[in-house]
Structure 1
């Protein structure tokens, strides 16, 4: 795998309702509410006085917090971002879970507002809900354009970590182009998501669906996952979080708002039903094709049930997750070389990828 792949274990950032009452120990892990800066000075490379940076952070917080909400779902607490002036709120699919109705509270305070699910898209761990009414003071967030985030860029994470609404932490973009897979444990969607933004801004359970913003008060991503360290009992790895990029958020949310569902995923697929195969030592060795959809990408290239896929492009494939990660960096219509075993014979095929 190349450097853009992330093989750390990750966890969703939904706060179970039973953990809603955080106490003193939890406060110690929160960073100071400081985000933003005079973007012009940063862009120009000019030195910035500490007071200027502090003022800039405070301006961004004032700009963005009225667009951030806390979502009380049947399965826990999460965060969301006001998407438009019609009351649509975008969040993570794992935040809404199987729920259809929710209570939403603005980060700036006020009474809870009812909301209903418009649609969820678990494949990208995104969902849109709509408020029953739009209260005064709530405003739509400004989403950054499709230009990628840059490593070293200062960012702020806003949401309700551990049930602490209106919380803000700051850090930088640590890496871009990460591909991570979410566990299904604890209500996760099992999604494999490409082009994630990695950040050092502290994000914790409850931050899911909130806002990762730049110093121009633009949302560049939705915090979704945090890395965990298996050697530390799967506790959170400090300073390693992942956010779905704004370009993907807008692509999915626009379709849900317009059509009530995702009509064009933009995600590559082989068009197969598959399972992981293991050797005599129970080590994963490839992905067996259980069924190939008629007229699907794999079938058109000559693959059939019983074939075992071992490589896609430059990526070795030993598990279903590895296959999903290899496809996450591709797009529908791309041509890739797929290596596979048929009756123990090594074969390859050029496959024109389809769409999920």
Structure 2
């Protein structure tokens, strides 16, 4: 519907409403004092919100960068004053060297890979030379992120450096599995922040920011609708929570790798199996090392896992999502089939 058409549809309704009101004494005279004060407050509140937006953008945008690799382009956030930049692993890909450009338009800078952590789709790179005035971002508390919060997404969507979109936190605690097509890592990521702020290719690795100027997440994924041929679903994007970003980045900066993921693992290599109707029916164990959690519990190659605790397991993705809700050291009952017979075993989960 174009704008002129929309106005033509709205005008008769407005007129009709006034005609009905006139029967009861509709008036176009001065509004009562209480109504006038409410009308005056509305533009004032709008101006204050606009000022908040501008202040946050001015504060945070200098901490957001564009990252150019040979085969990809994305965004990043300045993590500290030593030139470390945190971004998505899928932005980095297999590259080692990058060109980094500040969102504020300064000269491009060279950077090198420190380490990637594809299991959480995070990575850290470091500037070869730290420029004067480098401004690290402030990361917020993920526990305080709430549905309805106004947020701004900052990055380089479609290569448009320094772009800002706005929306709200539309859900929290989402577990989302990332595909491997289009350069994805295939990671299953728990506790993601869902937002209505527009997230487009190039936003990955950038900043999702609250009105206190704190980074509450890294935009990573946009939902897709298979019925639309896999196209992005408008207004549904996901960001890795700041708590996980800080945990992973701190370990990479300190040790050059992730030493404590906090992510539960069953300790198998598996594949999805189909039933007689060609529907996903479980995860077949391809390999279960004897010293791993599953192997120690007695699971072995050829077993088909159908439940993990209370969660039904039909695919590798559903198994990953069930594990994402658990912690290393948790004891869980695994239901499986072996040679056509169902059985159960208790497994103490390990760590990714």
The superposition leaves residues 88-113 of structure 1 with CA deviations (integer Å, 9 ceiling, x where unpaired) of 00000000111000000000111100
The alignment's TM-score, normalised by the length of structure 1, stands at 0.85
Gaps of 5+ in 2: 1-40
Q: In the alignment, is residue 187 of structure 1 matched against residue 183 of structure 2?
A: yes
Paired with 1:85 and 1:161, the residues of 2 have a C-alpha distance of 25
Say whether the 8 Å CA contact 2:142–2:216 is kept in structure 1. no
User: 1:213: Cα distance to partner?
Assistant: 0.7
Q: Shift of residue 145 of structure 1?
A: 2.6
Contact kept in structure 2, 1:75 and 1:96, CA below 8 Å: no
The whole-number CA distance in structure 1 between the counterparts of 2:226 and 2:288 is 35
Q: Distance in 2 between matches of 1:82 and 1:324?
A: 30
Residue 327 of structure 1 pairs with residue 295 of structure 2: no
1:310/1:340 contact within 8 Å kept: yes
2:182 aligned counterpart, secondary structure: helix
RMSD: 1.4
Using the size of structure 2 for normalisation, the TM-score is 0.86
Preserved CA contact (<8 Å) 1:106 1:138: no
- 1 or 2 for the larger relative contact order (CA 8 Å, sep ≥6)? 1
Instruction: Report the alpha carbon displacement of residue 146 of structure 1 after superposing the two structures with TM.
Output: 4.3
Determine if contact 2:86/2:249 at 8 Å carries over to the other structure. yes
Aligned to 1:240: 236
| Deviation for aligned residue 1:148 | 4.4
Structure with greater helix share of residues: 2
| CA distance in 1 between partners of 2:249 and 2:85 (Å) | 9
Matches within 5 A, 1:98-247: 98-247=94-243
Check the 8 A contact 1:180/1:192 in 2, yes or no. Answer: yes
Contact conserved, 1:144 with 1:246, CA < 8 A, in 2?
A: yes
Show the counterpart of 1:80. 76
1:283 aligns with 2:273: no
Task: Measure the CA separation in 2 of the matches of 1:349 and 1:203.
Answer: 43
Separation in structure 2 between the aligned mates of residue 76 and residue 184 of structure 1, nearest angstrom: 15
Contact conserved, 1:196 with 1:244, CA < 8 A, in 2? yes
Instruction: Give unmatched runs, 5+ long, in structure 1.
Output: 1-45
Moved more, 338-347 or 83-92: 338-347
Q: Which residue of structure 2 aligns with residue 298 of structure 1? A: 294
Aligned length: 311
1:274 Cα deviation from its structure 2 partner: 1.0
Structure 2 Cα separation of the partners of residues 177 and 338 of structure 1: 24
Q: Could you list the per-position Cα deviations for residues 22-70 of structure 1 after superposition, in whole angstroms to 9, with x for gaps in the alignment?
A: xxxxxxxxxxxxxxxxxxxxxxxx9971111111111110110010000
